[in-house]
Structure 1
Amino acid sequence: MLNNLSIKRKLLIYNVLIQAFILIILSFSIYKTLHLSTLDKIETSLKVIVLDIVDDILDHKSDLLTLSFDEENEYKFKPLYIRLVEEKNFKIVNSSSFPASIPHAFNDIQKNVIHFERYESFIVGEIKFLIKKENYILQVATDYKVLNHTMEDLFYILIFIVPIVLIFSIIGGNFLIYKSFAPVEKTLQDLKNINATNLSKRLEVLNSNDEISQLSQEINNLLERLQISFEKINQFSSDASHELKTPLTIIRGEIEIALRKDRNTQEYKDTLKVCMDEVLMIQQTIDDLLFLAKNENSLQIIEEDAYIDEITFDAIKELKAYAKLKNIKIQSQIKDIFQIKGHSKLLKIAIKNILKNAISFSHENSTVLIKNYQENNQFIISIEDKGIGIAQEEQNKIFEKFYRTDKSRNKESGGTGLGMAIVEKIISSHKGKIELKSSENEGTTVKLVFIKDL
Structure 2
Amino acid sequence: MKRISIKMKIMIWFTAAMIIMVVGTSAVNFFISRQVLDQSIQERLLDTVSSNAQEIEYRSSVSGEREAQDFFLSYNGGVLEIDDDFLNYSEGIYTALVDSDNNLLYGELPVRLDSDEAFSYTAVGTIKSDGEKFYVYEKQLSGNNLEGLWLRGFVSERESANVLYNMVRLSVWLIPVIAAAALVGGYVITRRSFLPIGAIDSAAREIADSRDLTKRIDIGGHDNGHMTKDRSGKDEIQNLAQTFNEMFDRLEDSFNAEKQFTSDASHELRTPLSVIKANCQYALKFAEGEDDFRESLKAIEDQADRASVLLSQLLFFARLDQKQGRVHFDFIDLSKTVSSVCADRKILFPCGVSLKTKISPEIFCKADENLIERLLGNLIDNAVKYIGKGDRVTVTLSRQDENIRLSVEDNGIGIDPEAMGKIWNRFYMADESRHETHENSFGLGLSMVKEIARLHKGRMEVESTPGIGSCFTFILPG
Give the TM-score category using the shorter length: 0.5 to 0.7
1:209 is matched with 233
1:122 equivalent in alignment to 2:146: no
Q: How far 1:214 sits from its partner (Å)?
A: 3.2
1:9 equivalent in alignment to 2:8: yes
2:471 is matched with 448
TM, length-normalised to structure 2: 0.61
Report the residue type matching 2:461 in the other structure: K
SS of 2:461's partner is coil
2:356 is matched with 333
Range that drifts further, 74-83 or 42-51: 74-83
SS of 2:174's partner is helix
1:129-148 equivalences in 2 (<5 Å)? 129=140, 139-148=152-161
2:461 is matched with 431
1:150 equivalent in alignment to 2:178: no
Cα distance in structure 2, aligned partners of 1:450 and 1:320: 19
Report the residue type matching 1:210 in the other structure: K
After superposition, the Cα gap between the structure-2 partners of 1:43 and 1:402, relative to the gap in structure 1 and judged at 3 Å, is closer
Tell me if structure 1 keeps the 8 A contact 2:95–2:153: yes
1:178 equivalent in alignment to 2:208: no
Report the residue type matching 1:143 in the other structure: S
Q: How far 1:243 sits from its partner (Å)?
A: 3.1
After superposition, the Cα gap between the structure-2 partners of 1:177 and 1:61, relative to the gap in structure 1 and judged at 3 Å, is farther
After superposition, the Cα gap between the structure-2 partners of 1:129 and 1:271, relative to the gap in structure 1 and judged at 3 Å, is farther
Tell me if structure 2 keeps the 8 A contact 1:433–1:449: yes
Higher helix share: 1
2:324 is matched with none
Q: How far 1:224 sits from its partner (Å)?
A: 1.0
1:125-274 equivalences in 2 (<5 Å)? 125-127=136-138, 129=140, 139-195=152-208, 197-207=211-221, 209-211=233-235, 213-245=238-270, 247=272
SS of 1:194's partner is helix
SS of 2:38's partner is helix
2:340 is matched with 314
Cα distance in structure 1, aligned partners of 2:97 and 2:205: 86
Q: How far 1:223 sits from its partner (Å)?
A: 0.9
After superposition, the Cα gap between the structure-2 partners of 1:409 and 1:289, relative to the gap in structure 1 and judged at 3 Å, is same
Q: How far 1:425 sits from its partner (Å)?
A: 7.8
Tell me if structure 2 keeps the 8 A contact 1:81–1:99: no
Summarize deviations over 1:379-410 as a string: whole Å, max 9, x none.
9745589xxx99x9xx9999871656456666
1:263 is matched with none
Q: How far 1:49 sits from its partner (Å)?
A: 3.7
Tell me if structure 2 keeps the 8 A contact 1:39–1:147: yes
Cα distance in structure 2, aligned partners of 1:107 and 1:247: 125
Summarize deviations over 1:71-91 as a string: whole Å, max 9, x none.
9954434463758586xxxx6
Tell me if structure 2 keeps the 8 A contact 1:114–1:127: yes
Cα distance in structure 2, aligned partners of 1:362 and 1:149: 104
SS of 2:214's partner is coil
Q: How far 1:271 sits from its partner (Å)?
A: 10
Tell me if structure 1 keeps the 8 A contact 2:127–2:134: yes
Cα distance in structure 2, aligned partners of 1:254 and 1:166: 87
Q: How far 1:361 sits from its partner (Å)?
A: 10
Cα distance in structure 2, aligned partners of 1:108 and 1:259: 137
Q: What do you get for the CA RMSD once the two structures are aligned? A: 5.9
Tell me if structure 2 keeps the 8 A contact 1:398–1:420: yes
Cα distance in structure 2, aligned partners of 1:398 and 1:50: 102
Q: How far 1:54 sits from its partner (Å)?
A: 5.5
Cα distance in structure 1, aligned partners of 2:52 and 2:396: 115
Report the residue type matching 1:181 in the other structure: F
Tell me if structure 1 keeps the 8 A contact 2:309–2:440: no
Report the residue type matching 1:159 in the other structure: V
Identical amino acids, percent of aligned pairs = 18
1:72-111 equivalences in 2 (<5 Å)? 74-78=88-92, 80=94, 82=96, 92-94=102-104, 96-97=108-109, 99=111, 104-105=116-117
Cα distance in structure 2, aligned partners of 1:251 and 1:451: 39
Q: How far 1:258 sits from its partner (Å)?
A: 11
Cα distance in structure 2, aligned partners of 1:254 and 1:281: 15
Q: How far 1:221 sits from its partner (Å)?
A: 1.1
Report the residue type matching 1:171 in the other structure: V
Summarize deviations over 1:301-339 as a string: whole Å, max 9, x none.
x9x9997x7565322333366x3xx99587533468699
**What are structure 2's unaligned runs of at least 5 residues?**
59-72, 222-231, 286-291, 322-326, 398-404
TM, length-normalised to structure 1: 0.64
Cα distance in structure 1, aligned partners of 2:170 and 2:383: 97
Tell me if structure 1 keeps the 8 A contact 2:463–2:472: yes
**What are structure 1's unaligned runs of at least 5 residues?**
261-266, 438-444
Q: How far 1:447 sits from its partner (Å)?
A: 4.0
Cα distance in structure 2, aligned partners of 1:181 and 1:24: 29
Range that drifts further, 35-44 or 342-351: 342-351
Matched positions, count: 410
Tell me if structure 2 keeps the 8 A contact 1:370–1:383: yes
Q: How far 1:236 sits from its partner (Å)?
A: 3.1
SS of 1:431's partner is strand
SS of 1:430's partner is strand
After superposition, the Cα gap between the structure-2 partners of 1:35 and 1:274, relative to the gap in structure 1 and judged at 3 Å, is same
SS of 1:114's partner is coil
1:329-368 equivalences in 2 (<5 Å)? 331-334=354-357, 348-353=373-378, 355-356=380-381
1:440 is matched with none
Range that drifts further, 135-144 or 174-183: 135-144
Q: How far 1:12 sits from its partner (Å)?
A: 1.4
Cα distance in structure 1, aligned partners of 2:186 and 2:433: 71
After superposition, the Cα gap between the structure-2 partners of 1:423 and 1:14, relative to the gap in structure 1 and judged at 3 Å, is closer
After superposition, the Cα gap between the structure-2 partners of 1:101 and 1:275, relative to the gap in structure 1 and judged at 3 Å, is farther
After superposition, the Cα gap between the structure-2 partners of 1:253 and 1:157, relative to the gap in structure 1 and judged at 3 Å, is same
